[in-house]
Structure 1
Amino acid sequence: MAKRYQVEVINHQRSFTALEGCSLLMSMERSGTQAIKVGCRGGGCGMCKIRVIKGRYISKRMSRAHVSESDEQRGLVLACRVFPQEDLTIESDLIVDSISEK
């Protein structure tokens, strides 16, 4: 049986359960929750950019056009390419330009 992790989206006061081995975005969609923008689902469009505030995860390759190495070090990732390893606290619907400039 797959492990389950709680994901709290603090700027939307919502939460959902993510299954082990399932991307954060797919888990959100399966739960019927609307807390992260959905785009291409493959890491190329940048629509699902989030900030992981707390919790461990692994990630697959993301487009550097949308997530720089510096962004990634600060917890900015694409939800379609992130797989939780424990409960997560995130922010979604980020304004990409203002974050990249900081």
Structure 2
Amino acid sequence: MTWRIEVENTGDTFGCAESATVLHAMAATGGRGIPLGCRGGGCGVCKVQVLSGRYHACKMSRACVSADEEARGTVLACRISPLTDLSVRVIGRMARCIDKARARTVAEEHQESIQQQQAPGGV
């Protein structure tokens, strides 16, 4: 079965089979949103907070995700496979880059909207 994965930081969605990890499925479908690192659970770049849904988690490096974090739904996207649709938020080292890029995009869209409204014949 293929489940829908949503990356809350970016709004991107992609499909992921139960037999694949979330990170692998994102990369295989050309998706974006979760940063790619070692893809083996050792670097922590793909650290996410699962906001909703159920998943199967493989063993993760405790240097990247503590037992307490894992119990609260913080995992490495390269080490989980979905059991239902999932919504995740990137929280690792790269989260700031993603949030800054999204803020720039929103600001650019807002500026473009203002320019269209001010243009002759604008909305």
TM range (shorter): 0.7 to 0.9
Cα distance in 1 for residues equivalent to 2:44 and 2:20: 19
**Distance of 1:15 and 1:95 partners within structure 2:** 21
Structure showing greater radius of gyration is 2
Aligned mate of 2:42, from 44, 47, 52: 44
5+ residue gaps, structure 1, are 97-102
The CA distance in 2 between the partners of 1:46 and 1:18, in whole Å, is: 20
**Structure 1 segments (4+ residues) deviating >4 Å:** none
| Structure 1 residue 6 corresponds to structure 2 residue 12 | no
Aligned residues with identical type, % of pairs: 43
Aligned to 1:25: 23
| Deviations 1:33-75 (CA, angstroms, capped at 9, x unpaired) | 1110111111011010001010000111100001001100111
- Alpha-carbon shift at residue 95 of structure 1 (Å): 4.4
Q: Per residue, is there more helix in 1 or in 2? A: 2
TM-score scaled by length of structure 2: 0.73
Identify which of 70, 80, 85 aligns with 2:78. 80
Matching residue of 2:32: 34
Does the CA contact (< 8 Å) of 2:44 and 2:92 recur in 1?
no
Q: SS at 1:5's partner residue? A: strand
Q: Which has the higher strand share?
A: 1
- Which fold has the larger relative contact order, with Cα–Cα distance below 8 Å and residues 6 or more apart in sequence? 1
CA RMSD across the alignment: 1.3
- TM-score computed with the length of structure 1 as normaliser: 0.87
